[in-house]
Amino acid sequence: MPKQRITKEMIVDAAFDIARSSGMEQVMVKNIADKLGCSVQPIYSYCKNMEGLRQEVAMRVCQFIEEYTAVRVDRNDLFRSTGKAYIQLSKEEPYLFKIFIFHQRTGISSLDEFYQSQASANTAKFIAKELNISISQAKRLHLNMLIYTIGLGTIFSVTTPGISADEIYEQQESAYEAFLEQALK
């Protein structure tokens, strides 16, 4: 049997490109085959089902977002600049942002579990140290900002012609100040 020229990595790359430009709902065997210029057979041979492929695309999206935010974060203002990076992502990569926001998170039945799934173990410690607050205050502040930034990013990514980034950042900063004040009480 001759070796196929289409690899699983090529299929995942093509699926990611389709998701990035058109959304996850366009990640279909026919669209992937068209993008790769091949028949649907190689895609079926590597991918047992589309849900598994979509999970791989979602993992690739998370990896992309980590890399995207890492290069946009200001080390001198890590907390605020991370929030701004997510807002920027929502505008520049709206389909990837939606995939990131709307991908299924299993085993979560509380906001604390959501927070633990989204933030690294050291995030609250870092915020606490930077702002000279307790770890529990830092967790509450960070969770509130996560929720708020996700909401703002969602609004930002679905409006046309679009809300100005300055208006969004100003709103985000106002929320930060209010949440910080609340956390300090």
Task: Tell me which CATH code domain 1-71 carries.
Answer: 1.10.10.60
pLDDT at residue 162, rounded to an integer: 81
Structure confidence by residue, pLDDT tens digits, 30-46: 999 999 999 999 898 88
Residue 4 has pLDDT above 70, yes or no: no
Top-confidence residue, 184 or 53: 53
Whether 54 shows a pLDDT value over 90: the answer reads yes
Q: How many Å apart are CA 68 and CA 87, to the nearest integer?
A: 12
Q: Do residues 183 and 138 make contact, with C-beta atoms less than 8 angstroms apart?
A: yes
Does position 1 have pLDDT exceeding 60, yes or no? no
- pLDDT tens readout for residues 145-167: 989 998 998 888 888 888 888 99
The answer to whether 146 touches 119, Cβ cutoff 8 Å, is yes
Is residue 23 within 8 Å of residue 54, measured between CB atoms? Answer: no
The pLDDT assigned to 160 comes to 83
* Whole-number Å distance between alpha carbons of 39 and 156: 38
* Cβ(17)–Cβ(35) below 8 Å: yes
Determine the pLDDT at residue 73. Answer: 86
Does 184 have pLDDT greater than 80? yes
Distance CA 168, CA 145 (A): 13
Domain ranges of the chain: 1-71, 73-185
Q: What would the pLDDT profile of 124-145 be if each residue is shown by its tens digit?
A: 898 899 889 999 999 999 999 9
| Burial class of residue 2 (count of CB atoms within 10 Å of its CB; 0-12, 13-18, 19+) | exposed
Cis bond leading into 42, ω under 30°? no
pLDDT in tens, 71-120: 998 878 877 888 899 999 998 999 999 999 888 888 999 999 999 888 88
Task: Tell me which of 5-9, 117-121, 167-171 is least confident.
Answer: 117-121
- Token representation of residue 121: 């173990």
